[in-house]
C-alpha cells in the first residue's frame, strides 16, 4: 500500500512538472481582436520578471514600431492581461505585443521606455524578442 501511494505521489509530481514546463520560457499568447474599446489584451503572458506588456505598431516587415500602449506584468504566468491604448488604432492595423522588463528605469512602476531606449526595455531570449503579433479588428 505504501509503495502504491509513493508511486502515485511520484506520478503526480511528474505531471505537475510537465505542466510547469509548458510555461518554462517567456511567451505571449494572443489573438486578433476588436480594439474599439481602447484596449488590447493577451490571454496569457509568461514573464521572467516584473515588467510590461508593451504594444508596438508594426507592419508586414514585423519590426517593432512606436509604442501605442502598455500594461503591467508580474513575474510568472499572467492571464487576461490588458494594455490601454494611448493612440487610436484602426481595424486592419498590426500590433506587436511584446514583453518588456521593469529594469533600468529611474522609477519602479512607471513605464519609461521609448523606442530604442534601455529603460524598461524588451526582454530577449537567445537574442530574440518575446512577442506575438495580432491584427486589430
Cβ atoms of 129 and 64 closer than 8 Å:
yes
Question: Does pLDDT of 113 surpass 50?
Answer: yes
CATH numbers and ranges of domains, the chain: 25-135 (2.60.40)
- Position of cell 486589430? 136
pLDDT in tens, 77-106: 999 999 999 999 999 999 999 999 999 989
Q: What is the Cα–Cα distance from 123 to 102, expressed in whole angstroms? A: 10
Q: Which pTM value belongs to this model?
A: 0.82
118 HSE (CA, 13 A, CB side): 2
Q: What is the pLDDT of residues 27-57, one digit of tens each?
A: 999 999 999 999 999 999 999 999 999 999 9
Label residue 98 exposed, middle or buried (CB < 10 Å: 0-12, 13-18, 19+). buried
What contacts 23, CB < 8 A, 6 or more positions away? 46, 77
Nearest to 31 by CA among 44, 48, 46: 44
Amino acid at each position: 500500500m505504501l509503495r502504491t501511494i509513493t508511486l502515485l505521489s511520484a506520478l503526480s509530481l511528474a505531471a505537475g512538472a510537465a505542466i510547469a514546463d509548458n510555461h518554462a520560457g517567456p511567451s505571449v499568447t494572443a489573438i486578433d481582436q476588436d480594439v474599439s474599446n481602447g484596449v488590447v489584451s493577451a490571454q496569457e503572458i509568461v514573464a521572467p520578471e516584473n515588467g510590461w506588456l508593451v504594444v508596438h505598431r508594426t507592419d508586414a516587415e514585423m519590426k517593432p514600431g512606436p509604442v501605442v500602449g502598455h500594461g503591467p506584468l508580474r513575474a510568472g504566468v499572467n492571464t487576461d492581461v490588458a494594455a490601454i491604448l494611448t493612440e487610436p488604432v484602426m481595424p486592419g492595423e498590426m500590433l506587436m505585443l511584446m514583453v518588456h522588463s521593469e529594469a533600468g528605469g529611474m522609477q519602479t512602476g512607471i513605464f519609461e521606455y521609448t523606442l530604442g531606449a534601455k529603460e524598461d526595455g524588451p526582454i530577449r531570449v537567445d537574442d530574440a524578442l518575446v512577442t506575438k503579433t495580432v491584427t486589430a479588428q
